[in-house]
């Protein structure tokens, strides 16, 4: 029905009653899924509190160990490649326009051969992205609103929040701090941070992050074998987030595809952010094996290819040139040096809290330390450490109800800051 | 219900019957919205046909005037800024990690002052992105599946395809070449490529691109004033795509916000791709004025802020440094020179087809020429030009049923290629 004529007289009259500077709401209904979301996304909320603290104490020299933000420069072997690629765009012979949405062929091949050699993952299974967080949302678009998902509790908040935005969930239930129709798989010290799968209900999509953000715990080969079998038994798809896999220093699997049969039940998403310091450069990838099929036999990768073609236009060509340099022998060595540095930071943080008598988890295979404050509210602990030590952490409950009573301390920082933060925390809790 | 135990025995038996190399489908149902999509996204399909042609005629020296892909180098004033930013990331003092999801403050301010001076659009209304195509999908996420949208017919296929993916539409109806529950606003020579709004049904979201892709037509000030009034009367939100606005050489509005009252009914999305040759670098922006409200009075910008915080992590910092250089006086002059070059290409293409007696549209304010082949199928014309002139165009029907009988010819190309394509086309149709 043409609404224009029908509404013109009444709405003109309506507008006529108000001065032109007053905003008139449209008739478009707010997306009910957006309205379900609680407060702000966690990290901007922490940034807001940090800013408020600084304006209260302008001379306090706040140290941020909150958001897991890299602080060390990117090795020159990598930035040189990006500088050269940028320069090459000014030359007619080396200029290029649109890349393929799936990413540069050489980079896809290098990712496959560097991280998935002998695992049966090929160049064509790799989709280069502008980061794992962005790909998580594109995966949600792929799955649509009718699926039910499971997450580790606690876990990186983008899994749950993107699920809410896609309309997969019910409302937030304040009493239990959970959204309806999401399976929260509790990961606590008592179960070694691996969920008791016998208590987990059927879910279509299982988000699983190892090394885990925020707990820093890493699933063993046996545990991941169990998880893959669980997915097979239930017909679920695992979305395995391996953004921190280069921090693994024991023999825990760095990829879900190290587990036999995983190609039939798993997607893996990863990132250059925490390896190469690309948090601001933006580069990641997602692996969707051709063996992964929907219930009707349709390949999941084929639909994801359509998503990236329609909703994305590829990662920046300059970032991709940096990614390729990361995977050169010199780049891999340089990244490994940076990781070694952050791992030394991690040890300082672990030792600090341990020496004060706290139960400390994570840290071994991850740049995150998960400190227990039994019986206390995470936000209260966060506030106390900020107020008295001027150190920003992340409240565990921001990652889900299973994180209550913990704070996450990030090991990303300059050494002097880590040492100073350790000193202040020792002062606070001595 | 814990499914693991219940299913284990039967599924183990099931797996036992098959060799381990056979893929077993999961039980996850394919997203029905994905299944509604027709064939491939338009431009990858054209790339496929181009590749097939080249393998059939390896020596044919195919000229691509299909996908609107920039070909001229990026001015050095811009690439130098990107090279320097990349290099700065290797230095501890100038390294930075995560940027804000909304974009660098300086870049937001520069976009506001360069393109929206005196239009009441401020830094805070600007969201920097990795390109307009990506933002269109994020806008769809924002609106959710319950809205009804309207598009110009023909139009850039990402509007319709992202709407299908979000579940806003019905199925594709082959007889009329349209998806259900989308309002197709016909834009044809007979109505000067501006829809007859009196025949347009109520829609929540109106996608409107001017200068238009593919027709190259540009809405006048009167027409856009009419469109804004139509949106106000119906309570709709306009998503105005101004990706080609720097190609405007007459007094047509370059922004929807030149129209009084538009801030209460419109979003604008734009891009550095076609201005600065950033198709591969990836940078764009979206303007959501604080005056734009949902029916319950909730600001649209506030929900979009949540979307970019949760589903995006900002554009590459290197690309953003390039964007800032684009908006310097030297950068603006350099971009304007490149646009002048492409506009000369456009004139060559317009003159070629005009001299052959074709009805030719667009081209004046846009890098696209819209050529009429009355009574012919667009794909047949596309195939003929490719087969006989080895020139890739884009079939008009790929942009919607209103594009049938047209092909779009892109003016992005080196001068020698444009002249050669013109020569071959004159041969073909002489």
pLDDT at A285 over 90: yes
Q: Does A113 touch chain B (CB under 8 A)?
A: no
Helix runs in B96-196, H state only: 105-115, 132-143, 157-165
Check if the beta carbon of residue B77 is closer than 8 Å to that of residue B331. yes
Structure tokens that stand for B344 in this block:
């000369």
DSSP string, A228-251: HHHHHHHT-EEEEE-TTGGG--SS
Residues 6+ apart with CB under 8 A from B98: A67, A69, A279, A280, B313, B314
Give the pLDDT confidence score for residue A234 in this predicted structure: 96
Determine whether the interchain pair B291/A23 forms a contact, defined as Cβ–Cβ distance below 8 Å. Answer: yes
Determine whether the interchain pair B30/A298 forms a contact, defined as Cβ–Cβ distance below 8 Å. Answer: yes
Residues in B 326-345 with any Cβ partner in A closer than 8 A:
none
Q: Which residues of A touch B89 (CB under 8 A)?
A: 73-74, 79, 82, 277, 280-281
* A230 φ/ψ angles, rounded to the nearest 5 degrees: -60, -45
Check if the beta carbon of residue B206 is closer than 8 Å to that of residue B235. no
Check if the beta carbon of residue A156 is closer than 8 Å to that of residue A43. no
Q: Does A308 touch chain B (CB under 8 A)?
A: no
Question: What are A111-160's pLDDT values in tens digits?
Answer: 999 999 999 999 999 999 999 999 999 999 999 999 999 999 999 999 99
Structure tokens that stand for A16 in this block:
């006529």
pLDDT mean over A267-286: 97
Give the pLDDT confidence score for residue B67 in this predicted structure: 86
pLDDT at A4 over 90: no
Give the pLDDT confidence score for residue B377 in this predicted structure: 96
Determine whether the interchain pair A165/B133 forms a contact, defined as Cβ–Cβ distance below 8 Å. Answer: no
Q: Is A55 buried (19+), middle (13-18) or exposed (0-12) by CB count in 10 A?
A: exposed
Q: Which residues of A touch B166 (CB under 8 A)?
A: 141
- pLDDT tier for residue A8 given thresholds of 50, 70 and 90: very low
Check if the beta carbon of residue A117 is closer than 8 Å to that of residue A365. no
CA-based nearest distance B83→chain A, Å: 4
Domain ranges of chain B: 42-72+331-429, 76-328
Q: Which residues of B touch A98 (CB under 8 A)?
A: 67, 69, 279-280
- Cα angle A47, A52, A53 (rounded to 5 degrees) comes to 95
Q: Does B429 touch chain A (CB under 8 A)?
A: no
CA-based nearest distance B340→chain A, Å: 17
Determine whether the interchain pair A28/B205 forms a contact, defined as Cβ–Cβ distance below 8 Å. Answer: yes
What gap in Å lies between CA B3 and CA B7, rounded to an integer? Answer: 6
Determine whether the interchain pair A28/B69 forms a contact, defined as Cβ–Cβ distance below 8 Å. Answer: no
Q: Does B153 touch chain A (CB under 8 A)?
A: no
pLDDT at A9 over 60: no
Residue-wise pLDDT tens for chain B (430 aa)? 343 433 333 333 333 344 444 557 899 999 999 999 987 678 888 988 999 999 999 999 999 999 889 999 999 999 999 999 999 999 999 999 999 999 999 999 999 999 999 999 999 999 999 999 999 999 999 999 999 999 999 999 999 999 999 999 999 999 999 999 999 999 999 999 999 999 999 899 999 999 999 999 999 999 999 999 999 999 999 999 999 999 999 999 999 999 999 999 999 999 999 999 999 999 999 999 999 999 999 999 999 999 999 999 999 999 999 999 999 999 999 999 999 999 999 999 999 999 999 999 999 999 999 999 999 999 999 999 999 999 999 999 999 999 999 999 999 999 999 999 999 999 999 8
The CATH number that domain A76-327 falls under is: 3.40.640.10
β-pair partners for B149: B182, B205
Residues 6+ apart with CB under 8 A from A77: A325, A328, A330, A331, A334
CA-nearest residue to A48 within chain B is: B100
Q: Which residues of B touch A78 (CB under 8 A)?
A: 90
Determine whether the interchain pair B73/A91 forms a contact, defined as Cβ–Cβ distance below 8 Å. Answer: yes
Q: Does B22 touch chain A (CB under 8 A)?
A: no
Closest to A276 in 3D by CA, of A103, A85, A131, A65: A131
Determine whether the interchain pair B316/A313 forms a contact, defined as Cβ–Cβ distance below 8 Å. Answer: no
pLDDT-wise least confident of A32-46, A51-65, A175-189, B73-87: A32-46
pLDDT at A20 over 80: no
CA-based nearest distance B115→chain A, Å: 22
Residue A406: C-alpha distances to residues A179, A339, A382, A399, B215 (Å): 21, 25, 9, 10, 58
CA-nearest residue to B15 within chain A is: A232
Determine whether the interchain pair A74/B89 forms a contact, defined as Cβ–Cβ distance below 8 Å. Answer: yes
Determine whether the interchain pair A31/B142 forms a contact, defined as Cβ–Cβ distance below 8 Å. Answer: yes
CA-nearest residue to B23 within chain A is: A291
Q: Does A177 touch chain B (CB under 8 A)?
A: no
**Class of CATH domain A42-69+331-429:** alpha beta
Determine whether the interchain pair B31/A137 forms a contact, defined as Cβ–Cβ distance below 8 Å. Answer: no
Q: Does A14 touch chain B (CB under 8 A)?
A: no
What gap in Å lies between CA B250 and CA B226, rounded to an integer? Answer: 19
CATH of B76-328, one of 3.20.20.70, 3.40.640.10, 3.40.80.10, 3.40.50.300: 3.40.640.10
Question: What are A187-231's pLDDT values in tens digits?
Answer: 999 999 999 999 999 899 999 999 999 999 999 999 999 999 999
Residues in A 365-404 with any Cβ partner in B closer than 8 A:
none
Residues in A 79-98 with any Cβ partner in B closer than 8 A:
79-80, 82-84, 86-87, 89-92, 95-98
Determine whether the interchain pair B73/A92 forms a contact, defined as Cβ–Cβ distance below 8 Å. Answer: yes
Asked if the B42-72+331-429 domain carries CATH number 3.40.630.10, the reply is no
Q: Which residues of B touch A314 (CB under 8 A)?
A: 280, 282
Pick from B8, B83, B295: which is nearest to A86 by CB?
Answer: B83
Give the pLDDT confidence score for residue B15 in this predicted structure: 38
């Amino acid at each position: 029905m043409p609404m224009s004529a029908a509404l013109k007289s009444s709405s003109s009259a309506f507008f006529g009653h108000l001065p032109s500077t007053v905003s008139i709401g449209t008739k478009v209904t707010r997306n009910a899924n957006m309205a379900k979301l609680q407060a702000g996304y966690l990290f901007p909320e922490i940034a807001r509190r940090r800013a408020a603290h600084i304006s209260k104490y302008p001379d306090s020299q706040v140290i941020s160990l909150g958001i897991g933000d890299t602080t060390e420069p990117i090795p020159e072997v990598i930035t040189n490649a990006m500088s050269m690629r940028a320069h090459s765009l000014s030359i007619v012979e080396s200029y290029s326009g649109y890349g393929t949405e799936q990413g540069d062929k050489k980079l896809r091949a290098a990712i496959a051969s560097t991280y998935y050699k002998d695992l049966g993952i090929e160049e064509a299974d790799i989709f280069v992205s502008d980061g794992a967080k962005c790909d998580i949302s594109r995966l949600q678009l792929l799955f649509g609103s009718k699926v039910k998902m499971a997450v580790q509790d606690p876990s990186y908040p983008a899994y749950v929040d993107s699920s809410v935005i896609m309309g997969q969930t019910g409302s937030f239930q304040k009493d239990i701090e959970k959204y309806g129709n999401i399976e929260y798989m509790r990961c606590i010290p008592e179960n070694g941070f691996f969920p008791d799968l016998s208590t987990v209900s059927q879910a279509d999509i299982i988000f699983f992050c190892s090394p885990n953000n925020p707990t820093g715990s890493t699933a063993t080969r046996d545990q991941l074998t169990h998880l893959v079998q669980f997915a097979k038994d239930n017909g679920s798809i695992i979305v395995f987030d391996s953004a921190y896999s280069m921090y693994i220093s024991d023999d825990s699997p760095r990829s879900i595809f190290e587990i036999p049969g995983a190609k039939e039940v798993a997607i893996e998403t990863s990132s250059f952010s925490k390896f190469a310091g690309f948090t601001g450069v933006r580069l990641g990838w997602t692996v969707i094996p051709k063996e992964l099929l929907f219930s009707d036999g349709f390949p999941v990768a084929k639909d994801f290819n359509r998503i990236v073609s329609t909703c994305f236009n590829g990662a920046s060509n300059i970032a991709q040139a940096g990614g390729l340099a990361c995977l050169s022998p010199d780049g891999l060595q340089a990244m490994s040096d940076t990781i070694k540095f952050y791992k030394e930071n991690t040890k300082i943080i672990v030792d600090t809290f341990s020496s004060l008598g706290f139960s400390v988890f994570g840290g071994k295979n991850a740049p995150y330390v998960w400190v227990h404050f039994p019986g206390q509210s995470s936000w209260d602990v966060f506030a106390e450490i900020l107020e008295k030590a001027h150190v920003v952490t992340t409240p565990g409950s921001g990652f889900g109800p299973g994180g209550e009573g913990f704070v996450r301390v990030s090991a990303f920082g300059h050494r002097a800051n880590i040492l100073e933060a350790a000193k202040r925390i020792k002062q606070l809790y001595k």
